[in-house]
Amino acid sequence: MIRKFFKRRKSHKVLVIGWDCAAPELVFDEFLDDMPNIKRLMADGMYGKLESTIPAITCPAWMSMMTSKNPGKLGFYGFRNRPDYSYDGMMIANSTLVKEKTAWDILSAAGKKSILIGVPQTYPPKNVNGCMITSFLTPSTESQYTYPPELKSEVERVADGYMLDVEHFRTEDKGELLEEIYNMTEKRHKVAKHLMETKEWDFFMMVEMGPDRIHHGMWKFFDKAHRKYQPSKYENAIRDYYKYLDKIAGDLISTAGSNTTVMVVSDHGAKRMDGGICINEWLIKEGYLTLEEYPDELTPFRELKVDWNNTIAWGEGGYYARVLLNVKGREPKGVISPDDYEKVRDELRLKLEVLGDENGKPIGTRVFKPEDIYPVRNGIPPDLLVYFGDLYWRSVGSVGTRCVHTFENDTGPDDANHAQHGIFIMRKPDCKKTGEIADTHIMDCAPTILNLLGVPVPDDMEGKIIGS
């Protein structure tokens, strides 16, 4: 009797499987019949599109998910952020700059154990009640990428050499790329399963970058609407990879045990990329940006000689654009009077919104002012954030083609862009069939996880508890 009384109650656990960039159109529809484990989770639980942050990009999206704070509050407007108003200062948003509490910080304080694998913005690794392997935002496997440090050798032994990311992403050799992606995913899975089986945990979260890498590298082979679509032996490469993801997810789910709530989430979705808008070429053409010398060849913006005394604005490349204004009293050689700031910003916004494709056909560009989308803006936000063609077009920062539109990316082949909505699937141990749910936001994940583990949700978390 006494023994029975003291027997530890089997406590509820939460497993989060993160697939960076996994698209709802693929998971919930096109590939669903090839993904039996995901299909079962969806049938026995709830699922829906997960609205991402603006910008819909790995950083800040995963950290927004895990802190339940918007990018403005986090002070992360992309992978790199301005530390000051100089022209060349840009700082990588590493873990030391994450000042808000993550779900695992709160769980650690409550005595719950976490295992974290590959969650972006966790390098350098910090203390956690449990263990952590950092993400692709780690310099290399030479770095100290685990907590505790001694975990590193265990990881490398189990995986037979760990991979933080694919090394040759910008290759035309798609066979090599595929091999690397599978290799990376397999290694991460081996480590995940090993840690799940050998360490104590209440919260387990892993993020697999493979879906993002395969979308960017191979979308044109599968999407017939893609400008560069061509029938090839890689037609089913993305589908096959999702099938593989489903298989290994099934393995983790069964290893986690029946008393575990399972979530499968992504930080944003994916869509074909129609082309690129060379933001700085456009700014030059419109008279907002002046160079001392126009380059002879395609040149990254940072290497250009900019005539700052005659420059009103400049832009950053990436899956979305950031436009920065050269303001008097703010930037070192600012030219816009603070009184004219709003006028110039509105003018740029309007012009960017109506900028069409190479034939002048509207593409539906969306332009955001930080104060309209973030209640608080810590750090230094860009003056405008731009989704060219609602993310069907990317932003190209380099200069040298004298063209505003481009169909060759300045950093190598890339077929896909990000979409605003990712995926959310959740099955609780009671398998209550809820079906499709709406209005789910990326910031809802952390409070949902805390609630499932019986830990009070801090008042300052911005998201809601899903399925309460």
If binding is defined by CB under 8 A, does position 111 make contact with other proteins? no
- Cα-to-chain-centroid distance, residue 211: 11
Whether cis (ω within 30° of 0) applies to the bond prior to 211 is: no
Which uninterrupted H or E stretch holds 40? helix 36-44
Judged by CB under 8 A, the chain residues 326 through 385 that form the site for other proteins are none
Taking the complex as a whole, how short is the minimal distance between the CB of residue 414 and other proteins, in angstroms? 5
Q: 198 and 190 in contact (C-beta within 8 Å)?
A: no
103 or 256, CB closer to other proteins? Answer: 103
Q: Contact with other proteins (CB under 8 A): which of 11, 99, 175, 232?
A: 99
| Residues that contact other proteins, how many (by CB under 8 A) | 41
Stretch 160-189: interaction string toward other proteins, x if CB under 8 A: -----x---xx-------------------
Tell me how many degrees the CA angle 301-416-37 measures, rounded to the nearest 5.
Answer: 140
Judged by CB under 8 A, the chain residues 407 through 426 that form the site for other proteins are 409, 411-412, 414
Q: 463 and 70 in contact (C-beta within 8 Å)?
A: no
Q: Contact with other proteins (CB under 8 A): which of 317, 334, 370, 463?
A: 317
Q: Contact with other proteins (CB under 8 A): which of 138, 185, 299, 311?
A: 138
Taking the complex as a whole, how short is the minimal distance between the CB of residue 127 and other proteins, in angstroms? 4
Q: Sort 99 into a burial class: Cβ within 10 Å, 0-12 / 13-18 / 19+.
A: exposed
Strand order across the 405-406 sheet: 393-396, 275-278, 405-406
If binding is defined by CB under 8 A, does position 316 make contact with other proteins? yes
Q: 160 and 140 in contact (C-beta within 8 Å)?
A: no
If binding is defined by CB under 8 A, does position 298 make contact with other proteins? no
If binding is defined by CB under 8 A, does position 91 make contact with other proteins? yes
If binding is defined by CB under 8 A, does position 267 make contact with other proteins? no
β strands within 401-457, DSSP E? 405-406, 416-419, 421-427, 435-436, 440-441
If binding is defined by CB under 8 A, does position 60 make contact with other proteins? no
Q: 307 and 291 in contact (C-beta within 8 Å)?
A: yes
If binding is defined by CB under 8 A, does position 139 make contact with other proteins? yes
Residues contributing to the site for other proteins (CB under 8 A): 57-58, 78-80, 91-92, 94, 96, 99-101, 105, 108-109, 123-124, 126-127, 136-140, 143-144, 165, 169-170, 213, 216, 316-319, 394, 397, 409, 411-412, 414
